[in-house]
Amino acid sequence: MFHAPILTTRGKEIATGLVILGLVFGGLGVGEAALRLMNLAKFGVAGTVEKSAKYHIDPASGLRAPRPGTVHGKAAISSLGFRSPEIAVPEPAGTVRLAFLGASTVFDANNGGAIEDSWPHRAVERLRARFPACTFDYVNAGVPGFGTPQVATYLEKNVARHAIDVVLVMASDFDSDATALAAARGMETNLEADRPWLARHSILFANLMKNADVLRLQRAAFSAVGHLEYDALALSAAFRERLAALVDLGHRVADGVVLMSPANKLDGGQTPEEQLAAANTALYYMPFMSVPGLVEGQAAYRQAIAEVATATGAAHVAAAESVPKDDAHYVDSAHFTVAGSEAMGEAVAAELAAEPAFLAALRANGCGG
């Protein structure tokens, strides 16, 4: 008769340790797989969006942009490379074609929703209801990572060739301008630059390190020590010039230009606890910033956008400022939930309907009263 060997005490300890290790690594493997599946459902890539082959170098502009015909989570990219429905080429007579330009807050995919859930799409739907005599279509030419220089190039080299009637821009270079200033002063600007091998190849470990960094940054977020000290109005001076040049380009390629205040969950009127929660991702990507520094800079760039609009004759839409700054409407410091996108779309349409410059663009296309 066969008898199973009897484990010694040391053998039992080793076996128990192996079981625990197996459970730990098995759990980590499950966690890693779950995160990759979540990314796949949300963005259409199992790894990180930044490294996705679903982006390419756009031949018209030379910029990195979505590859035409790809699918990003629930959103299909059109044959022209935009996160929006297909449009007729050439533009049908009597159509008012809108172009939304900016970065990831315009691309609006962080909530995992379909094209129909994005705020540009919802804004156009509301405009169709408000102006039934007008026929609207649109392109969502937002691309993650774009600042005003990239937006200007993309508009001139790519978007403008699609017969755009109204250009709508949501762009703020505060993050990139402040990062450049901090780098010039020798401050740490990129927490992911020296990540260990495991964090560079595992979404799970990268997220664990990211969360630990956010907690560390939040603990010191109201201290001036170790954080960038700067003049926000002076920092925004070059942005004003770039934005004015972008508006000038917009006026040359379209009947109307609309400048939009950027989406920000952080607000100067919040309690310190609310500010810490609202600034979590902003602190991570700008580790040299304090919460007061973020509030001051964001306010200065919003002011710059409004003043440039007035000076250049562009319409100004501050719709993002009316979206509630809470977890129900924001997934992080700058990106909307589906509910946030719905609120944003409604607010954008309402403000556009009251903007003389936008109404003039509609009249130039034979509708809008």
Q: What is the overall mean pLDDT for the chain?
A: 86
Sorting pLDDT into bands at 50, 70 and 90, what band is 284?
very high
Task: Choose the weakest-confidence range: 131-145, 205-219, 294-308.
Answer: 205-219
Q: Which residue has the tokens 């279509």?
A: 137
What is the rounded distance in angstroms from the CA atom of residue 293 to the CA atom of residue 277?
15
Q: Which residue has the tokens 């602190």?
A: 283
Residue 53: DSSP 8-state: T
Helices (H), 286-335: 291-312
Residue 180, pLDDT above cutoff 80: yes
List the structure tokens of 46: 């199992």
* Domain spans of the chain, in order of start: 49-179+224-364
User: Considering only the top CATH level, what class is 49-179+224-364?
Assistant: alpha beta
List the structure tokens of 315: 């319409």
Q: What is the DSSP string of 55-79?
A: EEE-TTT-SEEEPTT-EETTEEPPT
Residue 72, pLDDT above cutoff 90: no
In this predicted structure, what is the pLDDT of residue 193?
73
Helices (H), 131-202: 148-157, 174-184, 197-201
Sorting pLDDT into bands at 50, 70 and 90, what band is 200?
low
Task: Give the orientation angle of helix 291-312 with respect to helix 237-253, to 10 degrees.
Answer: 40
What is the rounded distance in angstroms from the CA atom of residue 247 to the CA atom of residue 152?
9
**Dihedral over Cα of 11, 13, 14, 20: its sign:** positive
- Residues 283 and 270: beta-carbon distance below 8 Å: no
Spell out a b/e string for 240-257, using b for 16 or more CB atoms within 10 Å of the CB, else e: bebbbebbebbeebbbbb
What is the rounded distance in angstroms from the CA atom of residue 216 to the CA atom of residue 211?
9
Sorting pLDDT into bands at 50, 70 and 90, what band is 35?
very low
| pLDDT 10s digits, 57-66 | 999 999 999 9
| pLDDT 10s digits, 209-255 | 666 766 787 788 899 899 999 999 999 999 999 999 999 999 999 99
Is pTM, for the whole model, over 0.95? Answer: no
Residue 199, pLDDT above cutoff 90: no
